[in-house]
Structures are given as structure tokens and as C-alpha cells.
Amino acid sequence: MKTQVCIIGGGPSGLMLSQLLHLKGIETVVLERQTRDYVLSRIRAGVLENGFAKLMREAQCGERMDREGEIHDGFFLAHADKLNRVDLHKYSGGNSVMVYGQTELTRDLYEARDRMNGIVIHSAENVQPHDVKSDMPYVTYSVGGEEKRVDCDFIIGADGFHGVSRKSIPSDVIKEYEKVYPFGWLGVLSRTKPVSPELIYAKHPRGFALCSLRSQVLSRYYIQVPLTDSVEDWSDEAFWAELKRRLPAEVSEQLITGPTIEKSIAPLRSFVAEPMRYGNMFLAGDAAHIVPPTGARGLNTAGSDIYYLYHGFVDHYQKGDSTGLDNYSEKALSRVWKAQRFSWWLTTLLHTFPDSIEYDQKLQEVEMAYLFSSDAAQSSLAENYVGLPF
């Protein structure tokens, strides 16, 4: 098979790029290791910045998001039994975020690819990029034991943190920066009315908690847990009891509990790989960088990578101008590091660190007090949460 851009990974990054390029007449093939059902069973992001929502619309995938997603103009930070609202609209110059699940937007992207007869190959095993430093790179894979090959002009590594693309770059070319946090998030999904119409991020001595949602009948909650915990350690009853302990009384009194329909633990990690280009292979999304979910930046930062690549490829194929592709790594990394900084800051502010000393706790307290006494501090929080410009 021959194509222009071979995309490894059929998550939101890979599908979005494939869809956008298709609409500009640029051919792609997407190779995904898992089945579609498996990809759609992963419960991940819930908060989209405006830039990401715009990209969904440009990809002709925004209709259901605009119908079913919720626009949020603010969220709450809970601390010391009190709720403080962060007014995103006021402090970001009229901006807001869209609450719409990654599962749903991935489904919309798959459906769009189907509608346009896009090639997405599932259950692709042993995917491997080759000759990426040459003008004739190719990707090999197997399906049902049969060896296959895709020749292409460019390869996109959009295969997530555990993918093969980044790992295929020689270690003397790529530099990796990593910070592993000493805790994870236990997340549950439940068919209950969300406790609050807007998200609540709660700081508590027992650990962080987050009340989020997917719709007015589907709640998503998280609590900070030690890395040694497993899902089996947490019955539904234990989860609800612990969540209630970490929320202000006025919130926990309102919390409607019920059976959970998904429960998983995600370790918290910050990671950046530089550069994001090797020869004719470009890394995008979680393949190149991940953040702890606290600032809701992961998928949104993947979105800006895709935006830069999309415009880079359009300029390359339509105008013969490769500046966008040549500048991709530098441009993407500049925004990636700002998302890293924000995610690290919010994670450090809101979590309970097992090795923290009293001095650290005092700093968390004063940071919180400063935040809600300063318009400048709230503006800084708001402009980062709604997403810095692309």
C-alpha cells in the first residue's frame, strides 16, 4: 500500500489528523494496534479547550459535541470546607471550556473516517517505522499473521505514551524529561446526577478529589490514591465514603451515589521527549508528552500538535512550503512546556505529598490564599485552563 502520510495510532490525535488532512485532499492510512471497541472503552479526558473544539468543527466532527457537550464558564476549587469559584469567563476575556468526553469525540472521529472511506486498520500488530531518515520511509505491520507494508512520504507517531514510534528513535537523538508523582488517581464513572453543575477540584489533607461529569446523568469522580493501591482495594462503598470525606460538607451532603460502571487507577506522570521530529517522522500527542490530568491539558496539548502538523502538511503539499513542518518541533514544544508548567503547578498545589514537610504545606496554603486574593493570579489560572493560543 502507498499513501502520503502514514499515521501510527488511532487515538484522538491520529484520527483527528487523518480527518483534517483528508478534507484537504491529503491521503493517510491509520494503523491502530487495538480494536475499535477497545479504544472506545477507555475513559479519559472530559474537558476540551475552545481551540480543540474548533478543530473538531473544522474536521466536520463538531455537530454532536455542540449538541451534547456543555459549555462551562467556571469551576470550583474546594479547600478547608469552602468552595471558591474560578470565573473562567471573567478572567480569560470571555473564554470557556467544553465538557465532552474523549470517548464520545473519538467515536465521532471514527464515524467521520468511515463516512469518508478513510483507511483505519485495526488490530495491526508489530507496527514498525523504517528508513525514517530517508525520503522513502515505510511502515511494516501484520494483521492475522500476514505481513504488510505501507510506503509513504511521512510517518506520524501518534501512538500514545507506550507506543513504538518514540522508542524507534535512537537514544542519542532524543532527550526525555520525566517526573513521576508518588500517587495516582482512582477514577469512577457512575450513572448518577453530578453533584455540581461545574467541576470541583478539592484540596484536602487526606488527598485530592475531583468531581467531574460527562452529562447531567453521568458523573465522573476521582480521588488521589497511593501507587500501591489497586482497583480491587476499593469497593464502591469505600470510594464514595472517601470522596465524601474530601469534599466540603455542603457538597458531600448533596452527593448522589450509585453503582460504578467503570473504575480504574492512573498513575500521575509528567514527560516530554525532545525533539518531536526525527527525519520524516513526527511525534504527536501522548507519544511525545504527557501531563498529570490535574490541569486537563493532555488531550488539549495533543490538539495543538495536530493543529501545527495539519497546517504544516497543507503548506507542504499545496504550496511546496515546508517551513511549518520544519518549525513543528520547536513550535509544539514551546506550548507543550507551558502546559507542563501549568499541570505541575496545579498538581503541586492541590495534592497531598507523602514526603511533604510543614513548610511545603504552608506554601500550599499561602498559594491558595494568594490565588483568591489576586485578580492577576486568577487570570493566570484562567488563561492556562482555557488554553494558551496555538
Q: Which residue is nearest to ligand PHB (CB)?
A: 46
Residue 158 binds which entry of ligand PHB, ligand RFL, none, CB below 5-8 Å type-dependent: ligand RFL
Q: In the structure grid, which three cell numbers stand for residue 216, read together? A: 447531567
Provide the residue type at 220 as one letter: R
d(CA 292, CA 278): 26
Residues touching ligand PHB, count (CB under 6 A)? 9
Is 47 among the residues that bind ligand PHB (CB under 6 A)?
Answer: yes
3-state secondary structure of 18: helix
196 interacts with ligand PHB by CB under 6 A: no
Question: Residue 140 and residue 161: Cα distance in Å, rounded?
Answer: 20
The reply on whether position 303 binds ligand PHB by CB under 6 A is no
Pick one of 106, 212, 300, 301: the residue that binds ligand PHB (CB under 6 A). 212
Which residue, 345 or 363, is less far from ligand RFL as judged by CB? Answer: 345
Q: Is 27 helix (H, G, I), strand (E, B) or coil?
A: coil
> What is residue 308's three-state secondary structure?
helix
Under a CB-based contact definition with an 8 Å cutoff, are residues 309 and 282 in contact? yes
In angstroms, give the least distance from the CB of 370 to ligand RFL: 25
Instruction: Select the binding partner of residue 283 from ligand PHB, ligand RFL, none (C-beta < 5 to 8 A, by kind).
Output: none
Q: Which of 22, 204, 220, 335 binds ligand PHB (CB under 6 A)?
A: 220
Of 9, 93, 109, 104, nearest in space to 47 by CA: 104
What does 39 interact with, of ligand PHB, ligand RFL, none (CB < 5 to 8 A by kind)?
ligand RFL
Give the residues across from 83 on adjacent strands. Answer: 78
Q: Which amino acid is at 156?
A: I
Longest dimension (CA), the chain: 63
Phi and psi angles of residue 371, each rounded to the nearest 5 degrees, phi first? -50, -50
Stretch that binds ligand PHB, among 17-25, 291-299, 352-360, 369-377 (CB under 6 A): 291-299
Among ligand RFL, ligand PHB, none, residue 294 binds (CB under 5-8 Å by kind)? ligand PHB
**Partner whose footprint covers residue 220, from ligand PHB, ligand RFL, none (CB < 5 to 8 Å by kind):** ligand PHB
Q: Which is nearer to ligand PHB, 47 or 77 (CB)?
A: 47
Place of cell 453521568: 218
Q: Which of 46, 194, 207, 285 binds ligand PHB (CB under 6 A)?
A: 46
Residue nearer to ligand RFL on the CB measure, 277 or 297: 297
> In sequence order, what are the residues at sequence separation of 6 or more whose Cβ sits closer than 8 angstroms to the Cβ of residue 381?
86, 91, 346, 371
User: Which of 158, 296, 325, 336 touches ligand PHB by CB under 6 A?
Assistant: 296
Partner touching 19 among ligand RFL, ligand PHB, none, CB below 5 to 8 Å by kind: none
CB neighbours of 96 closer than 8 A, spacing ≥ 6? 50, 71, 72, 73, 88, 89, 386
Stretch of residues binding ligand PHB (CB under 6 A), selected from 79-87, 149-157, 250-258, 293-301: 293-301
Binding site for ligand RFL (CB under 6 A): 8-14, 31-34, 39, 44-47, 102, 124, 127, 158-160, 162-164, 185, 187, 266, 285-286, 293, 296-300, 302
Exposed / middle / buried, residue 193 (Cβ in 10 Å: 0-12, 13-18, 19+): middle
By the 8 A CB rule, do 102 and 44 touch? yes
Q: Rank residues 220 and 289 by Cβ distance to ligand PHB and give the closer one.
A: 220
Q: Under a CB-based contact definition with an 8 Å cutoff, are residues 5 and 136 in contact?
A: no
Q: Which of 185, 235, 194 is nearest to 213 (CA)?
A: 194
Q: Residue 260 gets which letter from DSSP?
A: E
Indicate the residue among 41 and 128 with the shorter CB distance to ligand PHB: 41
Binding partner at 286 among ligand RFL, ligand PHB, none, C-beta below 5 to 8 Å by kind: ligand RFL
Q: Which is nearer to ligand PHB, 260 or 280 (CB)?
A: 260
Terminal CA-CA length for the chain? 34
Residues that bind ligand PHB (CB under 6 A): 45-47, 199, 212, 220, 293-294, 296
